[in-house]
Amino acid sequence: MDHRDQVSRQRSVAGVGVPTFVYGTAWKEAHTERLTRLALEAGFRGIDTANQRRHYHEAGVGAAIAAAFASGLVRRDELFLQTKFTSAGGQDHRLPYDPAADLATQVRQSFTSSLEHLRVEAIDSYVLHGPARRFGLTASDLEIWQTMESLHAAGKTRFLGVSNVGLDQLEALCARATTRPAFVQNRCFAQTGWDREVRAFCRERSIVYQGFSLLTANLAELRHPAFARLVARVGQTPAQVVFRFALQVGMQPLTGTTDPAHMREDLESYDFELSGEDVRLLEDIARL
């Protein structure tokens, strides 16, 4: 079946085509370059990373995409490249900026470092890795966002985004921002209806919701007999069913698999469709 007959591999964000499925590079360490290359070879055209050496190896991503450009595997205009600014509280000792500098300087230094790591001249999506605290926004969060807005205004990043954010924080950011986030990236739990409230807010404002840990954050729900019956009936893998569900409800899912066969299988989520009843079952799987 032609992929275009189902959920498209791209969606329009402010008139720009963006992949609907993204490969996440967290926690890959020394294997980052190899796994990013394999993801590109499998067909992924969206890559997510961060300038946070604690959990990411951004330079490894850069080496993989540079090799992919050089070999002709992918062109720069075909690749959606997303990275993040991570505040000092989320970093280890390997900081990509001067910790004594003001926040605006830290953002600019981190961004410049990301360009060097990734070997590109601009970023497609630059993401605030998370607010400083669990609830509400601080003056520091807003100062960081304003500096990110200046990078966007200068054409250095096509879009801005925010990660690990609650509904109250997202509402506050959208109310105060000059440039609103185009992407929201959250760990997605079935117990909260797959982040239902944040997804609804995003949908109302044409913000793309990126869901990560769709499998690992929901192990108990994915052991439910109703899910097992659904998987058996549609004849797909559990991961394919979850990612297909995510695509059909409008998410931009992330997968971080380290298995090349699973990379290809995950992309085969485009090749089948869940019924409306199947989607409703998965929406409420935590309540069953």
SS3 state at 24: strand
Per-residue pLDDT, 8: 82
Per-residue pLDDT, 72: 98
Provide the mean pLDDT of the chain: 96
pLDDT digits (tens, 9 = 90+) for 86-108: 999 999 999 999 999 999 999 99
Among 8-12, 33-37, 151-155, 173-177, which is the least confidently predicted range? 8-12
pLDDT digits (tens, 9 = 90+) for 33-84: 999 999 999 999 999 999 999 999 999 999 999 999 999 999 999 999 999 9
Residue 3 has pLDDT above 70, yes or no: no
CA 120 to chain centroid, in Å, comes to 19
> Can you read off the two tokens belonging to residue 221?
């729900």
SS3 state at 52: coil
Q: What is the rounded distance in angstroms from the CA atom of residue 130 to the CA atom of residue 169?
A: 10
The CATH number linked to 44 is 3.20.20.100
In a domain, 199, yes or no: no
- The closest alpha carbon to 185, from 238, 240, 126, belongs to 126
Q: Are 25 and 56 in contact (CB under 8 A)?
A: yes
> Can you read off the two tokens belonging to residue 224?
């439910």
In a domain, 272, yes or no: no
Q: Which amino acid is at 157?
A: T
Residue 11: φ, ψ to 5° = -130, 155
CA 137 to chain centroid, in Å, comes to 21
Q: Which ranges in 43-158 belong to alpha helices (H)?
A: 58-71, 103-118, 139-153
For the chain, how many residues are written?
288
Number of Cβ within 10 Å of residue 128's Cβ equals: 23
Task: Tell how strand 252-255 and strand 22-24 pair up.
Answer: parallel
In a domain, 225, yes or no: no
CA 132 to chain centroid, in Å, comes to 19
Q: What is the rounded distance in angstroms from the CA atom of residue 184 to the CA atom of residue 82?
A: 12
In a domain, 63, yes or no: yes
Categorize the per-residue pLDDT at 4 as very low, low, confident or very high, splitting at 50, 70 and 90.
very low
In a domain, 173, yes or no: yes
In a domain, 12, yes or no: no
Task: Determine the structural domain holding residue 67 and report its residue range.
Answer: 20-187
Q: What is the rounded distance in angstroms from the CA atom of residue 22 to the CA atom of residue 46?
A: 4
Number of Cβ within 10 Å of residue 122's Cβ equals: 15
What is the domain count for the chain? 1
In a domain, 108, yes or no: yes
In a domain, 3, yes or no: no
Residue 80: φ, ψ to 5° = -95, 115
pTM (two decimals): 0.96
Residue 214 has pLDDT above 60, yes or no: yes
